[in-house]
A = this chain, B = another copy of it.
């Protein structure tokens, strides 16, 4: 199982946003939606062995973690609005301390950066890290940030974690996920 966690520092935590204004009033929710697309879509199928965690830290609070599980997902299409609609539905139900399902394969709970980081041995996707092609063993858990990068508090939580770079250019989070999964696909298929 590959797990990918993405931090959305401005992403709205209530299900009242417009699918037509995700970059604006939804707090760059478009980035979160593209990460969902990158994490799950193959041509004509979904990556059933991936889970994606979106940490939403924007207003009105409290912080939320929305989990997408590839093995149970339904009703996800590749366009941004489709992922946005599932996130909005997750944010519309009451969130407790455990994941609660809002639609097949999608669940939500309360939780901030410390909760997310405690959920797995996440390696950090970071342009200063080791080249992914040079890593002899790839981890199964990855964390990355939106356009704002990790905050000092988040960096502190992630101190000592393995850091992996997908290439020489600094990429958007959703693009970094594509390169990561390509490397994983290649190793599994024996294309090295």
Residue numbers of A with Cβ under 8 A of B are: 19-20, 22-23, 30-31, 34, 37-38, 41-44, 77-82, 131, 133, 147, 166-172, 175, 178-179, 181-182, 185-186, 188-189, 191
Known A167-B191, A175-B178, A182-B182; 12 more pairs at CB < 8 Å:
A20-B81, A31-B78, A34-B37, A38-B175, A41-B175, A79-B80, A131-B191, A167-B182, A167-B186, A168-B191, A171-B178, A179-B179
- Determine which of B30, B77, B181, B189 lies in contact with A79 in the assembled complex, contact meaning CB atoms within 8 Å: B30
Question: Are B20's CB and A19's CB within 8 A?
Answer: yes
A191 to B167, CA, bound (A): 8
The smallest beta-carbon distance between A62 and chain B, in angstroms, is 26
Copies in the complex: 2
Which residues on the B side are within 8 Å of A19 (C-beta)?
A: 20
Question: Are B30's CB and A78's CB within 8 A?
Answer: yes
Some 20 contacts from A to B, beta carbons below 8 A apart, are: A23-B77, A23-B78, A30-B78, A42-B169, A42-B172, A43-B171, A44-B147, A44-B170, A133-B191, A167-B182, A167-B191, A168-B191, A169-B181, A169-B182, A169-B189, A171-B178, A171-B182, A175-B178, A178-B178, A179-B179
Which residues on the B side are within 8 Å of A42 (C-beta)?
A: 169-172
